[in-house]
Structure 1
Amino acid sequence: MANRLLSPKLLHRLLSSSSFSSSATTITTDSILNLDDAEAIFSSVPTPKLLRSAINLHAAAVEPMVDLGMWAMRSRLTNTAVVREVMLAAVRRTFYEHFCAGEGAAEAGRRVAGLWESGLRGMLNYALEHADDNKSCDRNVQGFVQTVESTNLLPQSSVSFVIVKITAICPLGLLQRVSDLLRWQYRNESFHLPWKLNTLSIFSDSSPFYHTPTKPDPLTPEEESDLYLAHQRLEKICEKCLEANVRLSIDAEDTFVQPAIDYFTYSAAIAHNKDNNPIVYGTIQAYLKDANERLYRAVSSAEKMGVPMGFKLVRGAYLSSERQLAASLGVESPIHNTIDQTHACFNECASFMLEKIANGSGAVVLATHNVESGNMAAAKARELGIEKGNQKLQFAQLYGMANALSYGLRNAGFEVSKYMPFGPVELVMPYLLRRAIENRGLLSTSTLDRVLLRKELKRRLKAAIL
Structure 2
Amino acid sequence: MNPTRTVRAFYQPASYHLLQARYVSTTKTTKSSAVVSAGSPAAATTSSALQTTFPQQIGDLIGTSKPKPDSQSPLAKLPLSSVLRSLVILSFSSSHLLLKPCIYTLSALANPKTPLTDTDRNPLLHWLIKNTIYKQFNAGENKVEVQKSINEIKELGCRGVLLGYAREVLTGESKVSPHDAKVAKQDVDAWLQGTLQGVEMATEGDFVALKFTGMGTQAVHLLQNNLPPSEYMDAAIRKACDATIAKGTRLLVDAEEQAVQPGIENWVMKYQKYCNLQTPGKATIYCTYQAYLKSTPATIAKHLAMAERDGYTLGVKLVRGAYMKIEPRHVIWDTKEDTDICYDGVVEAILTRRYNSMLSPAPESVAKETVPPVNLIIATHNRESVQKAHSVRLQQVQNNEPRIDLSYAQLQGMADEVSCDLINGFEDAARKHPHQVLESPNVYKLLTWGSVQECMGFLLRRALENTEAVARTKDSQKAMMEELWRRIKTVLVRGN
What code does the residue aligned with 1:136 have? D
- 2: CA distance, partners of 1:141 / 1:443: 37
Partner of 2:429 in structure 1? Answer: none
Query: Which of 1 and 2 has higher RCO (CA within 8 Å, sep 6+)?
Result: 2
Whole-Å separation in 2 of the counterparts to 1:73 and 1:450: 21
In structure 1, what is the equivalent of residue 481 of structure 2? 454
Identical-residue share of aligned pairs (%): 26
CA deviation after TM superposition for structure 1 residue 49, in Å: 2.1
Partner of 2:336: 339
Q: Distance in 2 between matches of 1:178 and 1:359?
A: 29
Q: Which secondary structure state, in structure 1, belongs to the residue aligned with residue 202 of structure 2? A: helix
User: Is the CA contact (8 Å cut-off) linking 2:163 and 2:446 kept in structure 1?
Assistant: yes
1:397 matches 2:400 = no
Q: Which amino acid aligns with 1:118?
A: L
Q: Go from structure 1 to structure 2 and tell me whether the alpha carbon gap of 1:419 and 1:444 turns closer, same or farther (over 3 Å shift).
A: farther
| CA drift at 1:444 | 6.1
The CA distance in 2 between the partners of 1:282 and 1:335, in whole Å, is: 19
1:151 aligns with 2:179: no
Residue 213 of structure 1 corresponds to which residue in structure 2?
none
8 Å CA contact 2:351–2:404 kept in 1: the answer is: no
**Mapped contact 1:38–1:453 kept (Cα < 8 A):** no
What corresponds to 2:140 in structure 1? 102
Compute the TM-score of the two structures, normalised by the length of structure 2: 0.71
- The letter for the 1-side match of 2:392 is K
Alignment RMSD (CA, Å): 2.8
Q: 1:106: how far off?
A: 2.3
Instruction: State the partner residue of 1:351.
Output: 348
For residues 292-331 of structure 1, the aligned pairs below 5 Å read 292-322=297-327, 326=328
Q: What is the Cα deviation at residue 295 of structure 1?
A: 0.7
Are the structure 2 counterparts of residues 245 and 174 from structure 1 closer, same or farther at C-alpha, using a change threshold of 3 Å? closer
Give yes or no for the alignment of 1:425 onto 2:452: yes
Residue pairs, 1:155-170, within 5 angstroms: 157=205, 160-169=206-215
Question: Distance between the aligned counterparts of 2:371 and 2:157, measured in 1?
Answer: 28
| Offset of residue 61 of structure 1 | 2.0
More helix by share: 1
Matched, 1:38 2:63: no
1:80 matched to which residue of 2?
Answer: 114
Distance 2:292 2:242 in 1: 32
Separation in 2, partners of 1:301, 1:439: 35
CA contact (8 A) 2:380 2:409 kept: yes
State the AA in 2 paired with 1:396.
A
Give the equivalent residue in structure 1 for 2:10: none
Q: 1:458/1:75 Cα in 2 relative to 1: closer, same or farther (>3 Å)?
A: closer
- Kept in 1, the 8 Å contact 2:349–2:371? The answer is no
- Distance across 2 between alignment mates of 1:58 and 1:72: 17
Distance 1:87 1:80, change over 3 A: same
Q: CA deviation at 1:263?
A: 1.4
Distance 2:454 2:146 in 1: 15
Conserved in 1, the CA contact under 8 Å of 2:17 and 2:394? no
Find the aligned partners of 2:444 and 2:334 in 1 and give their Cα distance.
30
Deviations 1:259-302 (A, max 9, x none): 22111111111111131011011111101110011111211221
Question: Structure 1 residue 395: deviation in Å?
Answer: 0.8
Deviation at 1:172, TM superposition (A): 4.2
Deviations 1:207-245, CA, capped at 9 Å, x for gaps: xxxxxxxxxxxxxxxxxxx61211111111111111110
2:380 maps to amino acid: T
Cα shift readout 1:45-100 (whole Å, capped 9, x = no counterpart) = 22232222212211222333332232234349943323542544432222111111
Letter in 2 for 1:122: V
* Among candidates 74, 86, 90, match of residue 57 of structure 1: 90
* Residues 335-392 of structure 1: per-residue CA shift (max 9 Å, x gap): 112111111111111112112399882110000011111111111121223999x781
The one-letter code of the counterpart of 1:277 is K
Aligned to 2:270: 267
- More displaced stretch, 143-152 vs 230-239: 143-152
Measure how far apart 1:32 and its partner are. Answer: 2.6
SS in structure 2 of the partner of residue 396 of structure 1:
strand
Q: How far apart, in 2, do the equivalents of 1:333 and 1:395 lie?
A: 29
Structure 2: 5+ residue runs without aligned partners?
1-13, 21-52, 60-72, 177-183, 355-369, 427-439
Corresponding position of 2:179 = none
Residue in 1 that maps onto 2:102: 69
Report the equivalent of 2:166. Answer: 127
Q: Give the Cα–Cα distance (whole angstroms) in 2 for the partners of residues 301 and 354 of structure 1.
A: 19
Structure 2 CA distance for partners of 1:444 and 1:111, relative to 1, 3 Å: farther
Cα deviation digits, residues 311-345 of structure 1 (max 9, x gap) = 110011111111xxx3xxxxx52111211111111
In structure 2, distance between residues paired with 1:244 and 1:345 = 35
Alignment pair present for 1:285 and 2:290: yes
